């Protein structure tokens, strides 16, 4: 009898165990179902300063079963692409560093729901020993102090191109505002003032290294700290650079906030409306998630300011917003007022053709037989985009009167090159005559 009871008990336990397994499997399948790919692919184009945030976004996308692809582009390039392509852009969302690039670029009115995700002031990061020597760790400075130190050879600095990157454009507008005497708002007459132009030209003349990307500039400084003394960049990029420099036992940068020239990047994420309801719904969910309290805290932990520009110092991690690096959360930041669209466009045009430090560019061009037909025509079209003033102006790539151009054609060997200086039609047409160098 006992054996029969044990046998029946065993049967009952066996079936109970099987039911538990079935239940567990059912839960697992249900869990997998919620993570099943939706087939939705969502493309975002962003400024390089947001690369550190992408892992958060990919985590969220995975949970939603959505494939997100992020490309990185300068904010100015983003504005140009938006202006020319509108809804034909190969992207579903744009994430420039500043709202001004959506305002300037969205001529076809395809952007919806643009909202700031984070903020970061554009400031100066100076090797700490140099900042101490200049007295900038104890006293507030103005752009005039920065210009004097640069002119005297006491500091060499790097910045991004104003016509390729938001941090460079923000710096330029801040400099112009400061040298114009901090007017209520920057006007066209300020841009055309020869005294103001000469001060800007003198400051930009001292730029030691330029780039088209804020992220690349930070990377270059970290990889080659011996070549850089200072850079103009986002506060968040200076924090990131310092974290990496400290890990390499290198001297960190000290954050300097020129009180008459600070602009704030508000990093808006906007939806490119193409009439796709599923993508629009996903964008709204993604944006709401990015603005949730939990995610905003994660973004704050990366050295980005969230909410208003001012942050309660007690809420911020001092290992990130490190006072020893000059990161001052108590400082009241009075940002430069954003000028009108026309003034911004004019400022960038003047920068490109007159104010920036002249460049020397070498073009090494394949004119071999393999380029016959479409190849050589594509090459000519590309060169025309760079050297034809009307085309170059569309992309804010115009040569200046002081630029040096070198063309080195080659087939199986290097051919005789052409060198020219300036931006007159005669000079540029000569450079565009590729047939001359092929004979």
338 and 213, same structural domain? yes
286 and 321, same structural domain? no
164 and 87, same structural domain? no
332 and 210, same structural domain? yes
295 and 158, same structural domain? no
DSSP letter (8 states) at residue 308: S
DSSP 381-436: HHHHHHHSHHHHHHTT----TT-EEEEEEESSSBPPPEEEES--HHHHHHHH-HHH
Q: State the pLDDT at residue 58.
A: 97
Q: Is 32 among the domain residues? A: no
Q: Is 69 among the domain residues? A: yes
Q: Is 311 among the domain residues? A: no
344 and 198, same structural domain? yes
Q: Is 255 among the domain residues? A: yes
235 and 199, same structural domain? yes
Beta-strand ranges (E) seen in 286-372 are 360-366
Q: Is 196 among the domain residues? A: yes
Residues facing residue 365 across a β-bridge = 409
99 and 205, same structural domain? no
90 and 47, same structural domain? yes
Q: Is 26 among the domain residues? A: no
328 and 223, same structural domain? yes
Phi and psi torsions of 396, nearest 5°:
55, 50
Q: State the pLDDT at residue 195.
A: 97
The enclosing domain of 185 has a CATH number of: 3.40.190.10
Cβ atoms of 293 and 315 within 8 Å: the answer is no
Cβ atoms of 127 and 251 within 8 Å: the answer is yes
331 and 224, same structural domain? yes
Q: State the pLDDT at residue 57.
A: 97
CA-based nearest residue to 328, from 96, 136, 181, 130? 136
Separation between Cα atoms, residue 52 and residue 117, nearest integer Å: 14
Q: Is 236 among the domain residues? A: yes
Per-residue pLDDT of the chain (439 residues; tens, 9 = 90+): 433 333 333 433 333 334 333 344 444 443 434 445 668 999 999 999 999 999 999 999 999 999 999 999 988 889 999 999 999 999 999 999 999 999 999 999 999 999 999 999 999 999 999 999 999 998 889 999 999 999 999 999 999 999 989 999 999 999 999 999 999 999 999 999 999 999 999 999 999 999 889 999 999 999 999 999 999 999 999 999 999 999 999 999 999 999 999 999 999 999 999 999 999 999 999 999 999 999 999 999 999 998 765 566 667 888 999 999 999 888 878 899 999 999 999 999 999 999 999 999 999 999 898 888 898 889 888 888 888 888 888 888 889 999 999 999 898 888 888 888 999 988 888 887 754 444 4
Give the domain extent around 289. 41-116+268-300
Separation between Cα atoms, residue 386 and residue 380, nearest integer Å: 10
Q: Is 258 among the domain residues? A: yes
Cβ atoms of 37 and 67 within 8 Å: the answer is yes
Residue with tokens 């005669």: 426
Q: State the pLDDT at residue 307.
A: 74
Separation between Cα atoms, residue 110 and residue 40, nearest integer Å: 20
Domains contained in the chain, number: 3
Separation between Cα atoms, residue 347 and residue 359, nearest integer Å: 19
In this prediction the pTM is 0.85
Cα dihedral value 407, 211, 243, 232, nearest 10: 150
324 and 431, same structural domain? no
Cβ atoms of 256 and 163 within 8 Å: the answer is no
């Amino acid at each position: 009898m006992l054996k029969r009871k044990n046998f029946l008990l065993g049967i009952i336990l066996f079936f109970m165990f099987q039911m538990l397994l079935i239940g567990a499997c059912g839960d697992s399948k249900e869990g997998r179902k919620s993570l099943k790919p939706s087939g939705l692919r969502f493309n975002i184009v962003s400024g390089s300063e947001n690369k550190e945030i992408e892992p958060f976004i990919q985590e969220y996308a995975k949970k939603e079963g959505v494939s997100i692809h992020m490309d990185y582009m300068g904010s100015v390039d983003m504005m140009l692409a938006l202006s020319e392509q509108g809804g034909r852009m190969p992207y579903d969302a744009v994430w420039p560093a500043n709202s001004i690039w959506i305002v300037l670029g969205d001529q076809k009115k395809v952007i919806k729901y643009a909202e700031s995700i984070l903020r970061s002031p554009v400031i100066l990061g100076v090797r700490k020993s140099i900042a101490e020597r200049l007295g900038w760790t104890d006293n507030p400075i103005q752009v005039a102090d920065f210009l004097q130190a640069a002119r005297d050879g006491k500091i060499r600095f790097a910045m991004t191109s104003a016509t390729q990157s938001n941090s460079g454009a923000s710096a330029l507008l801040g400099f112009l505002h400061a040298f114009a005497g901090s007017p209520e708002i920057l006007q066209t007459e300020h841009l055309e003032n020869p005294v103001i132009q000469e001060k800007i030209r003198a400051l930009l003349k001292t730029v030691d290294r330029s780039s088209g990307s804020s992220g690349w500039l930070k990377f270059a400084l970290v990889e080659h700290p011996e070549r850089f003394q200072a850079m103009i960049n986002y506060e968040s990029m200076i924090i990131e650079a310092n974290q990496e420099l400290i890990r390499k036992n290198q001297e960190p940068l000290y954050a300097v906030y020129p009180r008459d020239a600070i602009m704030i990047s508000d990093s808006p994420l906007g939806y490119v409306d193409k009439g796709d309801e599923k993508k629009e719904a996903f964008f709204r969910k993604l944006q709401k998630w990015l603005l949730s309290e939990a995610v905003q805290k994660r973004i704050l932990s990366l050295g980005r300011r969230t909410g208003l520009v001012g942050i309660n110092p007690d809420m911020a991690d001092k290992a990130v917003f490190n006072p020893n690096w000059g990161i001052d959360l108590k400082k009241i930041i009075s940002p430069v007022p954003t000028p009108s669209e026309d003034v911004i466009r004019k400022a960038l045009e003047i920068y490109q053709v007159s104010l920036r430090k002249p460049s020397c560019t070498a073009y090494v061009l394949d004119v071999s037989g393999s380029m016959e037909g479409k190849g050589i025509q594509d090459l000519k079209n590309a060169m025309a985009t760079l050297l034809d003033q009307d085309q170059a102006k569309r992309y804010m790539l115009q040569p200046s009167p002081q630029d040096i151009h070198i063309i080195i054609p080659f087939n199986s060997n290097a051919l005789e090159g052409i060198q020219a200086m300036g931006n007159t039609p005669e000079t540029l047409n000569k450079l565009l005559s590729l047939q001359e160098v092929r004979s």
